[in-house]
Amino acid sequence: MYMSSASTHGSIGQPPKYSVKGLRALFGSHEVLHGVDIDIPAKGVTAVIGPSGCGKSTFVRCLNRMHELVVAARAEGTVALDGEDIYAHDVDPVLLRRRVGMVFQKPNPFPTMSIRNNVLAGKYLTHTHRRAEADAIVESALRKAALWDEVKDRLNAQGSGLSGGQQQRLCIARAIAVEPDVLLMDEPCSALDPIATARIEDLIHELKDQYTMVIVTHNMQQAARVSDQTAFFLQGDLVEAGPTNTIFTKPKDSRTEDYITGKFG
């Protein structure tokens, strides 16, 4: 079927960061992903688009094994990260998630922690925290998340006192601080106003040289603005994936065109 159309679209010669084959995701007996094949190239931004309920969130949650945390949820197929199947029996999802960071739809800084401790949370939680490095990590993560100048004078204030956009950038800093290779973002701007959204998009642009980024969005303009590759999901199937330019200008599948031109969705 059209799954085969989702061919490799990374830079030629470079092995893909993720190589997904026959990925099926289920909640109980309800299948929400019906066998997805896609390669995600290293570095750069891959946007995952599609109408509500198409399985795009489930797809990225399968990339760091967060999907299986929901009661009765499971996944089948292979998802290779740098050639290693993350669903192999001897893979510890906890260690995997230290390499694959995630930013969620709703900003969720830890309310019991200060801004500084939020950034260091991953280090504390995983007992990889070293006091001597702490200040440097906090500053570099907050700088990368473009939040340093706004919070440097109140690092010990509660993270929950920040604005929504600042909270989301704090969450990005928190994810960056554990030094992942991959950053998954599940509709990171959908709870934010346009100005905060623009700042996050700038940030995504700055981070894409260092991280492999996968961003779920139902905002097509956003996908067009920030991504290098785009994958279009519909009703649990990957319809089409390829360079964002191609997907938005001459999609192969008529359903992709209908969605992008706003005929449905």
Partner 1 sequence: MGRSIRRADNGRAKLYERIFVAMCIGAVLLPAITLLGLLLSLLSDGLPRLSWDFFTSFPSRKAELAGILPSAVGTLYLMALTAVIALPLGVGAAIYLEEYGRKRKLATIIEINIANLAGVPSVIYGLLGLGLFVRTLGMGRSLIAGACTLALLVLPVVVVASREALRTVPMGTREACLALGATRWQTIRQVVLPQSLPGVLTGCILAVSRAMGETAPLVLVGALSYVTFLPDGLDAPFSALPIQIFNWVSRPQPAFLVNAAAAIVVLLGMMLVLNAIAVVVRDRMQMKLGRPA
The reply on whether position 124 binds partner 1 by CB under 8 A is yes
Query: Per-residue x/- marks for partner 1, 102-121, CB under 8 A?
Result: x-x-x-xxxxx--------x
Based on the shown chain and the rule CB under 8 A, indicate whether residue 188 belongs to the binding site for partner 1: no
Site stretch for partner 1 (CB under 8 A), options 93-101, 145-153, 226-234, 237-245: 93-101
Per-residue binding letters, 157-176, with partner 1 (x by CB under 8 A): -x-xx---------x--xx-
Q: Are 141 and 226 in contact (CB under 8 A)?
A: no
Residues 12-31 that bind partner 1 (CB under 8 A): none
| 71 interacts with partner 1 by CB under 8 A | yes
Q: Report the nearest approach of partner 1 to the CB of residue 118 (Å).
A: 10
Strand 18-27 vs strand 73-81: parallel, antiparallel, or unpaired? antiparallel
Verify binding: residue 224, partner 1, rule CB under 8 A.
no
The helix-helix angle for 115-125 and 131-144 (nearest 10°) equals 120
Q: Is 264 exposed, middle or buried (0-12, 13-18, 19+ CB in 10 A)?
A: exposed
Question: Taking a C-beta distance cutoff of 8 angstroms, is the pair 144, 173 a contact?
Answer: yes
Q: What is the 3-state secondary structure (H, E, C) of 214-246?
A: EEECCCHHHHHHHCCEEEEEECCEEEEEEEHHH
| CB 77 to partner 1: min, Å | 21
- Distance separating alpha carbons of residues 225 and 202, to the nearest angstrom: 10
Say how many residues touch partner 1, by CB under 8 A. 32
Task: Select the span of 97-105, 203-211, 215-223, 244-252 touching partner 1 (CB under 8 A).
Answer: 97-105
Q: Does 69 bind partner 1 (CB under 8 A)?
A: yes
CA dihedral 47, 51, 55, 57 (to 10 degrees): 50
Distance CA 134, CA 122 (A): 12
Query: In terms of CB distance, is 162 or 204 closer to partner 1?
Result: 162
Least distance between partner 1 and beta carbon 76 (Å): 18
Q: Are 255 and 235 contacting, i.e. CB atoms less than 8 angstroms apart?
A: no
Pick left, alpha or beta for residue 139 (phi over 0 → left; psi -120 to 50 → alpha; otherwise beta): alpha
CA atoms within 13 A on the CB side of 174: 26
Q: Which of 46, 57, 64, 222 binds partner 1 (CB under 8 A)?
A: 64
Return the number of other C-beta atoms located less than 10 Å from residue 3's C-beta: 17
Closest distance to partner 1 from the beta carbon of 21 (Å): 24
Shortest gap between Cβ of 228 and partner 1 (angstroms)? 24
Give the nearest distance from C-beta 160 to partner 1 in angstroms: 5
Residues near partner 1, by CB under 8 A: 64, 66, 69, 71-72, 94-99, 101-102, 104, 106, 108-112, 121-122, 124-126, 158, 160-161, 171, 174-175, 178
